[in-house]
A and B are shown apart, each in its own frame.
Chain A
Amino acid sequence: MSLRREVGRAAAVAWKDLTAERRTKANFNAVVFLAVLILLLFGFALGPDAEALRAAAAGVLWLTVLFGGVLAFNRSYQLELENGALEALLLYPGDRKAIFLGKVVANLAFVLLVEALVVPLAAILYDLPLLRPLPGLAGVLLLGTFGFVVLGTFYAAMASRVRAREVLLPLLLFPMLIPVLVAAVEATAALLVGDPMGESGAWVRLLAVFDLIFFVASVLAFEYVIEE
């Protein structure tokens, strides 16, 4: 029973965050625009040779997701900090893990939605096959994005509360995400340009292990980070 209540509380936090975002769309539009811009800029930096672009596409796609998505996380606390609402949220009875889970769900929805727009555009700009590898690609995107969002939401709980939040979050987050970046890029490249060595399975397992370890660790550590 209590577990169901916690899930209900997490859903309420997620719904609140998503509603606030849906009503303004300011952040979402900005992040999508920035992601499109990054895709174009990488094209100019690496192109115009179509073959070279296709070879680099998996890495470009994930860097676009990382650089765009990182802007979402601080925002998910900032609205509450501005109005002193975080204190109120913490005063509610129940487990604070639910707050973290709710924010993870909301941020996951946010980043996945950005990807839903960016990936087809990347397929067009970088001339990638999209329909055939789509099921596998969706799985890799989900696993990679989950690890990214879990740690991003966790570190933003700290970074959003200091003056230099825009700098501090990437400083903390990106070094930790290197295994996710390597594994997700390798698995994506295997799906997009073929997997002669049959190694994408190992990368997917690495992503799953990373997700599991850091999901558990950040859920447990969140209470220490958020307490006032």
Chain B
Amino acid sequence: MNDRHDILPAGRHAPRWHTILGWITLLAFVGAQATGFAISAPDRDMGHLQKIMYVHVPAAWMAMIAFFVVFIVSLIYLWRRDERYDLLAAAAAEVGVVLTALTLALGSIWGRATWGIWWTWDPRLTTTAILLVIYAGYLALRAFAEEPERRARWSAAVGILGFLNVPIVYMSVRWWRTIHQVQSSPSTVDSAYVLGLRLNAIAFLLLFLYLLAIRYHASRAERVAEARLEEAALMGGIHV
């Protein structure tokens, strides 16, 4: 088997396209939010509260994409044993956890104003919360496992099993109870909101890619630093 856990070459500075992507993301985000506010009328029942949808729904979509990326990249890691896939999975899990937390926080604010309660044991809400703790466990495992090659194998296994559980978790809580409204997507919301939702989905996709790129770059730089420290310690040059 071809283990590629040698020192990875990585530049000290983030590549230039990171900066460019960051600016594009910011512009897309501001533009999409402005469009959402400008062109869609306040909802008849919810008023401006409805605008939460423009962040809440795309964040939820991108979180699911992020966890799917963890799943796929973890499978590829176990197959190819290339450390870069492990670092990519870790970056995707980090972004996914942040976006899941954002989804829950915004959903909770929306629920308080609409349903009168901060939290309800509704299937999608509950599934999202369970995903948050499953992938927080994934990140905890990464934090505790020190040896990089072992950490990569372990977290790949945990990332794969965690994603397999998503449909089962969802089915079980759906049978358990349901009071959520039908989920928002361009086909279920009023056409006035479709454009805003689509633009924000694109902005969030850019945001996801940008965060993924910089987290990946950072973790690679961390690995290079680790490897250099180990090497220096082995040479007896410095005390770590």
Q: Which positions in A face B, CB cutoff 8 Å?
A: 151, 154-155, 158-159, 162-164, 168, 171-172, 174-176, 178-179, 182-183, 186, 199, 202-203, 206, 209-210, 213-214, 217-218, 221, 224-225, 227
Q: Are A171 and B137 in contact (CB under 8 A)?
A: yes
Q: Which of B139-181 contact A (CB under 8 A)?
A: 140-141, 144-146, 153-154, 156-158, 160-162, 164-165, 168-169, 171-173, 175-176
Q: Are B157 and A221 in contact (CB under 8 A)?
A: yes
Given A171-B136, A172-B158: 12 more A-B contacts, CB < 8 Å: A151-B161, A158-B158, A176-B165, A182-B172, A182-B176, A183-B172, A209-B168, A213-B164, A224-B153, A224-B157, A225-B157, A227-B153
Residues of A within 8 A of B161 (CB): 151, 154, 176, 214, 217-218, 221
Q: Which residue of A lies closest to B175 (CB)?
A: A202
B46 close to chain A: CB less than 8 A: no
Q: List 19 A-B contacts (CB under 8 A).
A: A158-B141, A158-B157, A162-B146, A168-B140, A174-B133, A175-B136, A176-B162, A178-B173, A182-B173, A183-B172, A186-B176, A202-B175, A206-B168, A206-B172, A209-B168, A213-B164, A217-B160, A221-B157, A225-B157
Q: Would you give the shortest CB distance from B14 to chain A, in whole angstroms?
A: 31
Dominant secondary structure of chain A at its interface with chain B: helix
A199 CA to B176 CA in the complex, in Å?
Answer: 11
Residues of B within 8 A of A217 (CB): 160-161, 164
Q: A176-B165, A224-B78, A224-B156 are in contact. Are A162 and B144 (CB under 8 A)?
A: yes
Q: Are A162 and B137 in contact (CB under 8 A)?
A: no
Q: Are B153 and A178 in contact (CB under 8 A)?
A: no
B117 close to chain A: CB less than 8 A: no
B233 close to chain A: CB less than 8 A: no
Q: Give how many A-B residue pairs fall within 8 Å (CB-CB).
A: 78
Q: Are B154 and A176 in contact (CB under 8 A)?
A: no
Q: Which residue of B lies closest to A155 (CB)?
A: B158
A227 CA to B149 CA in the complex, in Å?
Answer: 11
A159 CA to B143 CA in the complex, in Å?
Answer: 12
Q: A221-B161, A227-B153 are in contact. Are A172 and B172 (CB under 8 A)?
A: no
Residues of A within 8 A of B165 (CB): 176, 179, 214
Name which of B156, B157, B162 has the most chain A CB atoms within 10 A of its CB. Answer: B157
Residues of B within 8 A of A206 (CB): 168, 171-172, 175
B130 close to chain A: CB less than 8 A: yes
Q: Would you give the shortest CB distance from A217 to chain B, in whole angstroms?
A: 6
B134 close to chain A: CB less than 8 A: yes
Residues of A within 8 A of B169 (CB): 178-179
Q: Are B172 and A164 in contact (CB under 8 A)?
A: no
Q: Are B171 and A171 in contact (CB under 8 A)?
A: no
Q: Are B173 and A210 in contact (CB under 8 A)?
A: no
Q: Would you give the shortest CB distance from B153 to chain A, in whole angstroms?
A: 5
Name which of B130, B144, B173 has the most chain A CB atoms within 10 A of its CB. Answer: B144
Residues of A within 8 A of B140 (CB): 168, 171-172
Residues of A within 8 A of B136 (CB): 171, 175
Q: Which of B46-69 contact A (CB under 8 A)?
A: none
Q: Are A168 and B160 in contact (CB under 8 A)?
A: no
Q: Are A175 and B133 in contact (CB under 8 A)?
A: yes
Q: Are B144 and A164 in contact (CB under 8 A)?
A: yes
| Residue from A175, A209, A227 within 8 A of B137 (CB atoms) | A175
Residues of A within 8 A of B137 (CB): 171-172, 175
Q: Are B130 and A175 in contact (CB under 8 A)?
A: yes
